[in-house]
Amino acid sequence: TVGLRSFYQPYFKEGATIVPRALWFVEVKSHPVLGFDPSLPYVQTAERAQEEAKPAYKGLRLEGNIEKDFLYATLLSTDIVPFEHLDFRLVVLPLLPSGKHFKLLSASEARNQGFLNLANWLDRTQSEWQERRGEKAGRMDVYGRLDRYKGITGQNRTAKYKVLYPISATYLCSCVMEDKPFRIEVEGQTIEAQGFVADYKSFYYDTDNKEEAYYLATVLNSPTVDELLKPMQSRGLWGPRDICKKVLEIPIPQYNPSNESHRALSQLGEQCTQ
């Protein structure tokens, strides 16, 4: 219907600006014989974060031990596929639980609370930020960049389900993140992340309603919805590109458990995910 938007338009939010990637995206460095300590692993800037870094951050590499309390999972937009996702990305984030949300820790706060490894990591991130940003660093520190528009501290860490879709893609796709242990396998050992944080390259919707989550995933993965979206997308070299909140200008109705079609779509979403 022309002029109507989806009920969900105001409720989908853009994820956190976990940038520069080289400061936060990491991989575990495992000893060939001894492996690593899951409670205090030795991590280094992820190879992909280095390869894809902007010119100012080329060659930037951080490494050191980090307390497991500050290892989180995220996904890039390219990791989202219909009803599923590729492997989680490991990120160092200075966060502690605070009610339904997160509290951001500064280096001094981390040091005062005994998180010395995190404090050292944060000292280096701020130093690199200031050096590489130059005069621009005076406008915003590294914490302000990380939590721009409350992209992290505004996320509901207690939501049972997150519905994700990419901010930009040729074809719309979506998956559901359930609130369960987020495990990352590293050379036969397992790192268990403290939680999942949506990245700014994706939009997310928090809900405690399982049926609603899978209903939305089914609708967003629908070829019909993708066809309706196509005329709204800007075009790049390889065809349709930006999705942003344009898809929510399509009047996708609120999930109604008494609607038989809505229930059927939800069941399909769960089956496709499985």
- DSSP single-letter state for residue 102: E
Beta strands in the chain (DSSP E): 13-14, 25-28, 42-45, 63-65, 71-74, 80-81, 84-85, 89-92, 95-98, 101-104, 161-166, 175-178, 182-186, 189-193, 202-207, 235-236, 239-240
Q: Check whether 1 has a pLDDT greater than 60.
A: no
Q: Check whether 209 has a pLDDT greater than 50.
A: yes
What was the pLDDT predicted at 267? Answer: 98
Question: What is the arithmetic mean of pLDDT over 1-11?
Answer: 81
Answering whether pTM is above 0.85, one says: yes
Residue 20: is the preceding peptide bond cis (ω within 30°)? yes
pLDDT band at 2 (very low <50, low <70, confident <90, very high): very low
pLDDT band at 262 (very low <50, low <70, confident <90, very high): very high
What residue has token string 């996904």? 75
The 3-state secondary structure of 9-60, one letter per residue: CCCCEECECCCCHHHHEEEECCECCCECCCCCCEEEECHHHHHCCCHHHCCC
Q: Kindly state the percentage of the chain with pLDDT values over 70.
A: 96
Q: Check whether 185 has a pLDDT greater than 60.
A: yes
Least trusted range by pLDDT, from 46-60, 75-89, 92-106, 210-224: 46-60
What tens digit of pLDDT does each residue of 69-99 get? 999 999 999 999 999 999 999 999 999 999 9
Question: What is the arithmetic mean of pLDDT over 223-250?
Answer: 80
Q: Check whether 274 has a pLDDT greater than 60.
A: yes
